[in-house]
Each structure stands twice: as structure tokens, then as C-alpha cells.
Structure 1
Amino acid sequence: MAHAAPASRRRTTSTRPSTDVLSPRAHRVASVAVPVGLGLIYGYWVAADRRAGGEITGWNLLLGFVSAVVFILLFVAIRAVSGQMRREMHAIMWAAFTGCAVGFLYSQTGHSVVRSSLMGLAFGAACFVVLFYRYYTHEDAEGRRTS
């Protein structure tokens, strides 16, 4: 007579091994270090574009630091809010942030407002397409993230 094999009492949550190799502490440090690092790079880039190879002035330093602080604050705010949104709004928020950042950076080189706006729109649109595809392929039919 055939009998069913006894089931294991251990519950497994996933059959896939975890790809997360960093500790929770490393994630906490990275959640602060990444926005600050990117903001400082962005601020330096804005200041360097504005001075166009000329001398470094106090106003140039102020512009760089203010740009860095605004970039960091917006990056952290968008990262905190966009995680709870549907994929369309999630992608739109990051695309708008990227487009505005690139447009402002491009405007510091001395080009016209129209050309800077078009450059920001182009980068924002490309960013939206890439991010929407990524979020669309990483959600199930109800909009819950699978990874």
C-alpha cells in the first residue's frame, strides 16, 4: 500500500536564494551616502559649468552648495514617496526629477532656456521609458512588486 511522504515542518518563504549580500547596517549607510554623494557631484558639476573654466568665486561656491542641498532633499523625498505609488507615477516622478536636473545643469552652460528645456524633456522622456519598462516587468497584475 502506498503512503504519502511526510512533509517537512520547516516553512520556506522562497525557493530562490537571496541575492542581498550586504548587511542591514550597510543598507542604512548607503541610504544616506548615495544621496549625499550624488548631490555633491551634482553641485560640483553645476558650479563647474557655471564658471566655464574661469576663477572660483564665492557666488560660484554658494550656487554649488545650494544645488547640492536641493538635489539631496529632492532625491530623498522622491525616494521616500515614490515607493508606494503605482508604476506609472513612480516612473513619472523619477523622470521629472531627472529631466529637471539635466535641464538645470544644461542651462548653466549658457544655452537658451528653450534649448535647456528641450534637453531636459528629452532626458526625462528617455528616463520615463526605461523606468516604466523596469517597473512594469517587476510587478504582478495587481501592481505589487515581485522583487
Structure 2
Amino acid sequence: MATPSTLHGHRAAHRRPSAHRHLPAAAVGVPLLLGVVYGLYTAFILSSGHVFSTAKTVLSIVSGLVLAVLAFGFGRIQHSLPKEARAAGYGVLIGGAMGFLYSMTGSSVLSSSFIGAGFGIGAVIATFYLFYTHED
């Protein structure tokens, strides 16, 4: 008599998803490194030629933390976005970060906006080209 294949020890090819998903080290390490470097560079800009105060220290720490959180969050959702939206997201992230850094030098809001927009447009073009040429 023929018996079903499940009785012979054959199992289905699918696996049950694990309850705990582990993040790769780069998924946490890269945004953390970016945040630390960004915070230190903000502190360097704020302290150049001036006395360093508690408010400047807090601003440096908060700016690095905000960039790290935004980079981590965008890194978590970037693979679900089309390449155009992903490139725009990188442009907004890089342009905003560079415009904020430029504003720390004491320049006007308008010039900081132009610097941020320039870096953002450059980042959009570069990342879109990268995503378009490396399609799956």
C-alpha cells in the first residue's frame, strides 16, 4: 500500500520565520558611525575660535543623534522603495545634513539652503545613477 510522502520523513520546503530577526552589524554600525562623526564635526565647527559651552555640546550631541536615527530609519525602509524614491530620500538626508552644517558657520539661511540643495541634488543624481546601473 502506498503511504503519503510525509510519513517517510519528507518535510515541506518552507521554513517558519524566526521570532527574532537579527540586524546585520552594518545596519546599526554605519548610522552610528555617521552620527558620531557628524556630531564631532558639528562640535568642531561650533568650537572653532570660540569658547565651547554646554549648549554647544548639547547641540552637537543632538545633531549627531538625529542624523544617526534618521539614517537608521531610512536604512530600514529603503529596500521597499523604488529607486527614484530611494534616491530622493538620500538627497533629502544628505542635503539637509550638509545645509545644517553650513548654517553652523554663521552664514545666512538662504546660503545654507542653497548649499543644502546643491548637495541634495548631487546626492540624488549620484544615488539614482548608482541604483539604475546596479539593478537586480
Same fold (TM over 0.5): yes
* Structure 1 CA distance for aligned equivalents of residues 55 and 34 of structure 2: 21
Q: Could you give the per-residue CA deviations for residues 70-110 of structure 1, whole angstroms, max 9, x where no partner exists?
A: 01110011111121111100100001100000000000000
Moved more, 52-61 or 67-76: 52-61
Aligned-residue CA RMSD (Å): 1.5
- Which of 118, 127, 133 does residue 131 from structure 1 map onto? 127
Structure 1: unaligned runs, 5 residues or longer: 1-24, 140-145
2:79 aligns with: 83
Q: Secondary structure at the match of 2:80?
A: coil
Partner amino acid, structure 2, of 1:53: G
Identity of aligned residues (%): 34
Query: How far off its partner does 1:131 sit?
Result: 0.6
Structure 2: runs of 5 or more not aligned? 1-21
Which structure has more RCO (C-alpha within 8 Å, separation ≥ 6)?
Answer: 2
Equivalent positions of 1:1-147 (< 5 A) are 28-139=24-135, 146=136
**TM-score, normalised via structure 1 length:** 0.74
What TM-score results when the alignment is normalised by the length of structure 2? 0.79
